[in-house]
Structure 1
C-alpha cells in the first residue's frame, strides 16, 4: 500500500512541473532587461504623442487661460493655410539639398581618407571636429561670417569680388543654411562611411583589377554594393535630421527673407510659441510626425532593392 502511494506521488510530481521553469526564468530576465526601455518609450514617446494628438483637437490660449475643444478645426485650418505650401516646399528643398550634399561629400572624404597616405589622421580629426562643437556656437560664428560685411565677403573683396548679403538674399539664404549644416555634420557620416570602406575586402578589388576593371567600375560594382547598408543607415539619419532642423534657422535667418527659409519645425515653433496657437502647433507636429514616419518607412521598404544583403 505504501509503495503504491509512493509511486503515485512520484508520478504526480513528474506530471505537475514547477511554475518557475527554466524557460519562464529566462523570459523574466529578458523582460527585466527591456523593462526600463519600455517604460522610457511609454513615458517619453507614446505619452507625448498621445498628448499632442489630444492638444491638436483643442485650442489652448495660455494668455487667456482657456482650453476649448475644437474638434477638427485645426486640421481644417491646416488644409487652408496659405503659407503651408511654401513652408513644405522650403522644407523639401532643405532636406534634399542637405541629403545630397552631405552624403556625397561624406562619401568622397571617406574614399580619400581611406587611402594609405601620410596625414590622414590629422584630416580625419579636422573634418570630424565640427560634429562635437556646440551647434549654437557653430551657427553664431557662421552668421557673422555670412553677413554683408562679414568674413566671407571680406575674403572675396581681396580678389575684387563683391559678395552679397548671404543670409538676406532670396537666392542665397537657403543655400547658405544648407552649406552651414553640411559642414557641421558631414564628419559623422564620413566616419561611418570610412568604417564601412575599411571592411571591404581588398582581394575583390585586386581580382577585378586583374580582370581589367577600372577604378570607377570597381567602385560602383564592388564598393558601393558592399557599403550599401551603411548608405541606408546614413540616409535615414540624415533625412530625419534634416526634417528636425531648428537652431540653424532660428540663429541664421529666423525663417527669412519672407518665409523662404522657414522649414516645418520652425513654422511649428512660430505658431505655438510666438503666436500662441498651441492647438495648431500640435496639429503641425502631427503632420511632421507623419512625414518623418512615411519617409522612414519608404526608405526601409526600398532597402530590398538597393541594399546588397537584403533578399
Structure 2
C-alpha cells in the first residue's frame, strides 16, 4: 500500500517569480504593433526624405551629367540673394490668405444654410461636395477652357453686355482666377466638417438665447462660433497647409504667369529643380517651404488657447 506522502508532489513556482510576458508587457507589445505601420511610414516617407533633402541642399546635383558635387552653403547663399524669391513669397502669401478667407467664410455660410431642416438640402450638400472627388487635373483643365478670353465665362458675360477680361493673362485677374478655382474645388470638404460641428451644438443653447432676446447674429457670434471653434482651427490648419502645397492649378492654368504674379513657392521649386536642373537649390527651397509650413502650423496651434472653446 502506497502512502500519500510517497506520491510526487506538484508544486507551483513561487508567487514572487513572474514570467517574462506579463500583462503590462503584452499590452505594450500590442500597442507597438498597432502603431508600427504608422511609425514605419513616418520614418520612411517623412524623416528619411527630410534628411536626404537636407543632404542634397549641400550639394549641386546634375542628373544629366551624373555629377554630385559638394557645395556647402552655396545654395543657402543663393537663397538669400535670390531676387525673385520676395515676389514668389508675396504671391504665395496672397494666394494663401485669399484661399483661407474665401474658403472658410463660404464653407461656414453654406454649412449654416444647409443645416436648416428644409427640403432639398441633401441634394445641395451633394452638389457642393461633388467637386471634392473630381480629379484635380481634370477640374483645372475644364476651368482653363472656361477662363480663356473666348471661353465660357466671358461668353456668359457677353450675353449681358459685359466685355470680360482675359482672366489668365492679367496680373490681378490671374491670381483671382486661381484662388476661385481652388475655392470651388475644395469648399465642399470644409462645408461637411462645419456641418458635422453644427449638428453637435446643443439646441438648448439656442432656445435659451431666444428666450433672453438674442437675435440671429448674436446667437451665431456667441454660441455657434465658440462651439465650433475647434473645427474652425482644424479647417484653417488644413487650408493653410494645402494652400502652400498648391501646384497642379498653377501648372495647368497660368504656368506661374503672367510674369511671376502666380508663381507660388512650390511651382518655383519645381522650376528650379526640374526645369533649370538645379536640384540642390530646389532642395534648399523645399526646406524653406517645410520651415514655413511648420512655423505657421505651430503659430496657429499656439493661438488656439486664445479663441478655441474648451482650451485653457
Query: Could you say which TM-score interval applies, normalised by the shorter chain?
Result: over 0.9
Return the alpha-carbon distance in structure 2 between the equivalents of residues 117 and 305 of structure 1. 36
Give secondary structure in 2 for the equivalent of 1:67. Answer: strand
Q: Counterparts in 2 of 1:102-141, with a 5 A limit?
A: 102-141=103-142
1:149 paired residue number: 150
Return the alpha-carbon distance in structure 2 between the equivalents of residues 60 and 83 of structure 1. 22
Return the alpha-carbon distance in structure 2 between the equivalents of residues 194 and 62 of structure 1. 49
Structure 2 segments unaligned to the other structure (5+ residues): 1-10
1:32 paired residue number: 33
Q: Counterparts in 2 of 1:187-198, with a 5 A limit?
A: 187-198=188-199
Return the alpha-carbon distance in structure 1 between the equivalents of residues 39 and 211 of structure 2. 53
Give secondary structure in 2 for the equivalent of 1:115. Answer: coil
Using the TM superposition, name which of 14-23 and 204-213 deviates more.
14-23
Q: Aligned-pair distance for 1:63? A: 1.6
User: What is the TM-score with the length of structure 2 in the denominator?
Assistant: 0.95
Give secondary structure in 1 for the equivalent of 2:15. Answer: helix
State the superposition RMSD in angstroms: 1.2
Return the alpha-carbon distance in structure 1 between the equivalents of residues 32 and 143 of structure 2. 48
Count of matched residue pairs: 303
Deviations 1:107-153 (A, max 9, x none): 00000000111110110011000000111111001000000000111
Structure 1 segments unaligned to the other structure (5+ residues): 1-8
Give secondary structure in 2 for the equivalent of 1:18. Answer: coil
Give secondary structure in 2 for the equivalent of 1:254. Answer: coil
User: What is the TM-score with the length of structure 1 in the denominator?
Assistant: 0.96
2:232 paired residue number: 231
Return the alpha-carbon distance in structure 1 between the equivalents of residues 37 and 89 of structure 2. 37
Asked if 1:82 is matched to 2:83, the reply is yes
